[in-house]
Amino acid sequence: MAYSEKRTKILMGLTYAAAVLFVLAMLMNFFYVGPERQQGEAQRIFYVHLSSFLGSFLAFGAAVVAGIAYLRSRNPKWDTLGHSAVEIGLGFSTITIVTGMAWARPIWNTWWTWDPRLTSVTIMWLAYAAYMMLRTGIEDPERRRRFAAVYAIVAFASVLYTIIIIRVRPDTIHPVVAGPTQAEPEGSFEVSGRIRDTLFFNMFTFTVITVVLVWHRIRLENFSERVARRKMEVLADL
């Protein structure tokens, strides 16, 4: 099944838009917003750290929607979406972890500590890495799709746990930018104008990048299936 011209044009347009947005976001991160008083230049990591987590959250969320839709319809296209979204989400959560480590070294004086947030994000990453590995271990396509759909729904608990943990555990040292905490049950979002603008622009940029990458990944998966099908046809004729 070939893709329509219109869809291809939309994807190409989104791809160029994502590239331009990314360049603009980097310009904002380095030139529009200044360094933070206490954290210095290391604070600039925060924009991509939080935005990449948003990207992984959206991708893993898409995998949940795809999982539910697959279990209801048994249409393999939902499995393709789920698989693609988890793969891209895993990449973004790797960015979140690595950028977090680079920020933690000067601010916490350590690359890594088993803080509740860091532990939960590790569990989340491992849960989705296991999804990728376990998928390859099941040969029957129907069983693999069913398993992946259920797993993607269940694994999302680790994403929610990662978001909630710093708001309910008093012993975490991870900063909370927005929302209620133990110290501030009412919730707050105390960031200055330029930092807020830059943060929101980065979050929007990473959302677009996530959509573009998942879409490209879906097309790659579909292309791969078409090639595999054609190969079987040719081999059968030999």
The residues that touch another protein, with contacts defined as CB under 8 A, are 35, 39-42, 44-45, 48-49, 52, 88, 91, 94-95, 98-99, 102-103, 105-107, 209, 213, 216-217, 220, 223-224, 226-227, 230-231, 234, 237-238
Query: Cβ 41 to another protein, closest distance in Å?
Result: 4
The smaller minimum CB distance to another protein, of residues 183 and 234, is found at 234
Q: How far is the CB of 94 from another protein (least distance, A)?
A: 6
Q: In whole angstroms, how close is the CB of 105 to another protein at the nearest point?
A: 6
The whole-angstrom separation of Cα 196 and Cα 123 is 29
If the CB atoms of residues 44 and 145 are measured against another protein, the closer one turns out to be 44
Q: Using the 8-state DSSP alphabet, how is residue 3 labeled? A: P
Nearest-5° Cα angle at 81, 22 to 73? 150
Residue-level length of the chain: 238
Q: What is the DSSP string of 103-168?
A: HHHHHHSSS----HHHHHHHHHHHHHHHHHHHHHH--SHHHHHHHHHHHHHHHHHHHHHHHHHHHH
Between residues 41 and 142, which has the closer beta carbon with respect to another protein? Answer: 41
Taking the least distance from each CB to another protein, the nearer of 14 and 42 is 42
> Shortest approach of another protein to residue 88 CB, angstroms?
7
Nearer to another protein, 164 or 228 (CB): 228
Q: How far is the CB of 18 from another protein (least distance, A)?
A: 10
Burial readout 193-224 (b: 16 or more C-beta within 10 A, e: otherwise):
eebeebbebbbebbbbbbbbbbbebbbebbee
Least distance (Å) from another protein to the CB of residue 98? 4
Measured in Å, how far apart are the chain's first and last C-alpha atoms? 24
- By beta-carbon proximity to another protein, the closer residue of 200 and 223 is 223
Q: Hunting for tokens 């555990």 — which residue is that?
A: 169
